[in-house]
Amino acid sequence: MKTRITELFNIEHPIIQGGMHYVGFAELASAVSNAGGLGIITGLTQKSPNDLAKEIARCHEMTDKPFGVNLTFLPTVAAPDYPGYIDAIIDGGIKVVETAGRNPQPYMEQLKKADIKVIHKCTSVRHSLKAEAIGCDAVSVDGFECGGHPGEDDMPNMILLPRAAEELKIPFVASGGMADARSLVASLAMGAEGMNMGTRFMATKEAPCHERVKVLTNIQDHLPESQVFNNSSSFFN
């Protein structure tokens, strides 16, 4: 399948593994990328830029496919060393960064100079348009079904995605409640060009989550526990 998202990120399937704190390590990111999606290492899970550099190097040992890094900009008194993390991303040869939280504009110049594609998580059409205006290459439009993000307007994806399609010129993926091929087909029908999937990946063998969490996730989805895709087509079966 080809969409603007697959072409932008040089991936086979328009599926992005969302950055999840203490879940997005090299094992999961590389498995998703090897299966044809876009795996994501969660940057701030690593305690320092040096730790992130090591995790990126580990992921390169597990895959020769593209993968990205999530960098969440938090409202905090003592901010992380964001320039240092970005340096680690650049030095590690990463070409895709998923940003979230606050406006990434202060760091866009550093990222764009390194020819890095930026996809920003947005919880509304107005935030998505702002991301487009500051130079983001794509956005992840996060409906009310998506957990862990500020600024939500209680707007579900059935309403939010078609509105985003009417307003945006850059490609976007759907995020929130995405779990299987039906989610992808529905997202495409509403104007998205891919999907961002998080919780469903927690149930995979590569995710460092407690077994009970994986069992409960699979019971809810009525699916057997399985390794990520196993092959690049099994996700769509």
Average pLDDT, the chain: 90
Lowest mean pLDDT among 67-81, 86-100, 161-175: 67-81
How many domains are contained in the chain? 1
Count the Cβ atoms, other than its own, within 10 Å of residue 159: 13
Contacts of 27 (CB under 8 A, 6+ apart): 62, 206, 208
Cα separation, 222 vs 227, in Å, equals 15
pLDDT over threshold 90, residue 223: no
Q: What is the 3-state secondary structure (H, E, C) of 148-208?
A: CCCCCCCCCHHHHHHHHHHHCCCCEEEECCCCCHHHHHHHHHCCCCCEEECHHHHHCCCCC
pLDDT in tens, 125-163: 999 999 999 999 999 999 888 876 666 677 889 999 999
State the angle between helix axes of 82-91 and 49-62 in degrees (0 to 180), rounded to the nearest 10: 30
C-alpha 137/C-alpha 150 separation (Å) is: 21
- Give the integer Cα–Cα distance in Å for 119 and 140: 7
- Domain, as residue range, for 181: 4-236
Residue 73's pLDDT band (boundaries 50, 70, 90)? very high
Q: Is the pLDDT of residue 92 over 60?
A: yes
CA distances from 13 to 6, 21, 137, 163, 194 (A): 6, 24, 18, 24, 8
Confidence class for position 189, pLDDT limits 50, 70, 90: very high
What was the pLDDT predicted at 56?
A: 98
152, HSE (Cβ side, Cα atoms, 13 Å):
15
The pLDDT value given to residue 225: 47
User: What tens digit of pLDDT does each residue of 8-33 get?
Assistant: 999 999 999 998 999 999 999 999 99
Percent of the chain with pLDDT over 90: 73
Residue 152: predicted pLDDT: 64
- pLDDT of 228 higher than 60: no
- pLDDT at residue 236, as a whole number: 43
Select the more confidently predicted residue: 49 or 209. Answer: 49
Residue 222: band (very low, low, confident or very high) from pLDDT cuts 50, 70, 90:
low
- What is the dihedral sign for C-alpha 42, 4, 62, 215? positive
pLDDT value of residue 9: 98
**CATH number (domain holding residue 163):** 3.20.20.70
Q: State the pLDDT at residue 237.
A: 44
Percent of the chain with pLDDT over 70: 89
Identify the pLDDT of residue 181: 93
